[in-house]
Amino acid sequence: MSELAIRRGAAPALAVEGLSYSYARAAAPALLDVSVEVAPGEFVLLAGRSASGKSTLLRAACGLVPHFHGGEVEGRVEVAGLDAIASGPGELAAAVGYVAQDPETQVVSTTVAAEIELPLEMRGDGPGDRARAVEEVALALAIPHLLGRAVDTLSGGELQRVALSAALVTRPRLVLLDEPTSQLDPVSGDELIWLLRRLNEEWGVAVVLAEHRLERCLAAADRVVAMEDGGVGFDGSPREFLAWTRDSDPALTTPAARLFSLAGIEPLPVGVRDARRTLGDAPTSEGLTGPEHRQPFTRPKGPRAFAAKGLWVELDSGEGARDVLRGIELAVAPGERVALMGRNGAGKSTLLRTAAGLIDPVAGRVAAERMALLTQNPGDFLVRERVGDELPGLEGRDALRAVGMEHAIEADPRDLSGGERQRLALAIALAGRLEGDGVPGLVALDEPTRGMDCARKEDLHKLVECLAAGGAAIVIATHDVEFAAEFAERVVLLGDGVVIADGPSAEILSGGWYFATEVARVLDRPGVVTPEQGAAHLAERAG
């Protein structure tokens, strides 16, 4: 039993002992002799690369493995004293709440209120108790305005909040979350982590959170468990975890910790506040380029791979038509790499879908040259029961190789991790279009880094650069500020259906509180957005 559980004198909220598991037809085990415990009221961050076993461990903890996914399982899993392998997800529902990586796959009701109320109905709660619980959890997650909405009108971020509400409404002892901030803008993501920490502290709910964007949640965690090739590679405090990543897996190091490591500063910080405290009196902006001295941003003239002029789009979410895009004026040249950013509901996905001809505008016009679109939900692309059947032939193999998925050709897409499904969908969207005359004029990707670790993001960055070098314009809608800083030369920031900022990525991503990289928030210096830039700045200051 963990030290925290012993100290509290209580049985663990989750106890996993000697757990090994293989999906059907899988070439290798997804979990191999995993043993881990979570104490009541503990907040555990589950880290690790894509396909390291994080999602599978969460599925085992809520009974989906093996009851839904099948396969072969050995070992013991207990949740609040219940045998998770013998009981299955239905019997565990009162003790554990689960939010999957793809919340759209969890939703079964027609309205938001009905979806949140469903677990209470299954438990047999009375109408009055159900109404109060739904109202309270909706208030806690800031979605009371969504209760009357149809679930098929919600954005990805709204779906994640609804799925979390349904998981929390029964007030379980343990909550399992798989990439819960992957579709949330920086503001909503920070709010969600703060909410989970508050529920953890005030309600005593144990939280196990699997996440790739570690900079968002590391400071909130009591403990980090890092998965490595199906086993537990590390188990300890957040600060000890950062020291481990530096020596064992630098791809898991947070941007602020990488900044300190490059600059030779100890100890490595677990968050922005910790970093700023260590740096103490940060340097003044003396000698740096201030806003008044920046070179004006000049967009290239000439051919356009994408152009919107006076673009207006209306959508009806069930509460009457509303303007989602309002007079958009935007152009992207061949070879440009653009990050399309903004809060949830700002109109990013709508703009891309309109450019692809999936939505008709009510005014204005939009043109996109030979467009390839990857939508937000990878499940839209996956219809076969074998990865190789999704992408047959030589072109399919080349596409799988380009996204690092050639190893999974015999796997069932449903058994893949969220990041792997995302990469498979990307391969489908680009199959036969990676070189020569097949390269699209516009490649538009909607949240492509969902479920991807840093190493896979770097692979995507290289693929994007290759496509751009071949003449394709790249527009990526993303909430991943760190990825945007790496790949984009230009950032377009949407707010409530209008363009509110458009400029160089180093300028846009260092000039605010939320749409700014972790390094930018630590140093607060114009144009300094990456760990490498930050280390160079600190070296200049020290000199």
Give the 3-state DSSP-derived string for 29-68, with helices as H, strands as E and coil as C.
Answer: CCEEEEEEEECCCCEEEEEECCCCCHHHHHHHHCCHHHHC
Under 8 Å between Cβ of 173 and 13: yes
Joined tokens for residue 118: 């469903």
Q: What's the alpha-carbon Rg for the chain, to the nearest Å?
A: 23
Burial class of residue 240 (count of CB atoms within 10 Å of its CB; 0-12, 13-18, 19+): middle
What fold, for 40-69+93-247? Rossmann fold (3.40.50)
Joined tokens for residue 322: 């509303």
| Eight-state DSSP code of residue 354 | H
Chain centroid to CA 53: how far?
17
Burial class of residue 320 (count of CB atoms within 10 Å of its CB; 0-12, 13-18, 19+): exposed
What is the pTM assigned to this prediction? 0.86
CA neighbours closer than 13 Å in the CB half-sphere of residue 486: 22
Q: What is the pLDDT of residue 288?
A: 38
Per-residue pLDDT in tens (0 to 9) along the chain, 543 residues:
444 444 445 789 999 999 999 998 788 899 999 999 999 999 999 999 988 999 999 999 999 999 888 899 999 999 988 999 988 787 888 889 999 877 777 888 999 999 999 999 988 899 999 999 999 999 988 899 999 999 988 877 788 889 989 999 999 999 999 988 887 888 888 888 988 898 899 888 999 999 999 999 999 999 999 999 999 999 999 999 999 999 999 999 999 999 999 999 999 999 999 999 999 844 433 433 433 334 445 565 678 999 999 999 998 866 678 899 999 999 999 999 999 999 888 999 999 999 999 999 999 999 998 899 998 888 888 888 899 999 998 888 988 988 888 888 988 888 887 778 888 998 998 888 888 778 899 999 999 988 888 888 998 999 999 999 999 999 999 999 999 999 999 999 999 999 999 999 999 999 788 899 999 999 999 999 999 999 999 988 876
Please list, in sequence order, all residues whose beta carbon lies within 8 angstroms of the beta carbon of residue 360, skipping any fewer than 6 positions away. Answer: 354
Look at residues 5, 452, 32 and name the one whose alpha carbon lies nearest to residue 211. Answer: 452
As beta bridge partners, residue 311 has: 328
Under 8 Å between Cβ of 314 and 323: yes
Which helix (H) or strand (E) element contains residue 363? strand 363-368
**462 three-state secondary structure:** helix
Q: What is the pLDDT of residue 299?
A: 61
Query: Distances from the Cα of 198 to the Cαs of 96, 209, 317, in angstroms?
Result: 18, 14, 31
Helix axes 255-263, 531-542, angle to 10 degrees: 40
As beta bridge partners, residue 83 has: 78
Q: Please give the CATH architecture assigned to the domain spanning 306-509.
A: 3-Layer(aba) Sandwich (3.40)
What gap in Å lies between CA 20 and CA 398, rounded to an integer?
Answer: 33
Angle at 236 between CA 230 and CA 240, to 5 degrees: 110
Residue whose tokens read 């599925």? 59
Angle at 431 between CA 430 and CA 436, to 5 degrees: 80
Looking at the chain, the domain(s) classified CATH 3.40.50.300 span: 40-69+93-247, 306-509
Neighbour count for residue 442 (Cβ, 10 Å): 24
Joined tokens for residue 298: 């000049």
Please list, in sequence order, all residues whose beta carbon lies within 8 angstroms of the beta carbon of residue 184, skipping any fewer than 6 positions away. Answer: 157, 160, 192, 344, 479
What gap in Å lies between CA 245 and CA 401, rounded to an integer?
Answer: 27
What gap in Å lies between CA 413 and CA 270, rounded to an integer?
Answer: 35
Angle at 209 between CA 193 and CA 123, to 5 degrees: 95
Query: Distances from the Cα of 338 to the Cαs of 309, 332, 335, 473, in angstroms?
Result: 18, 8, 10, 8
**251 three-state secondary structure:** helix
Q: What is the pLDDT of residue 289?
A: 40
Joined tokens for residue 40: 């009541």
Look at residues 433, 463, 469, 470 and name the one whose alpha carbon lies nearest to residue 449. Answer: 463
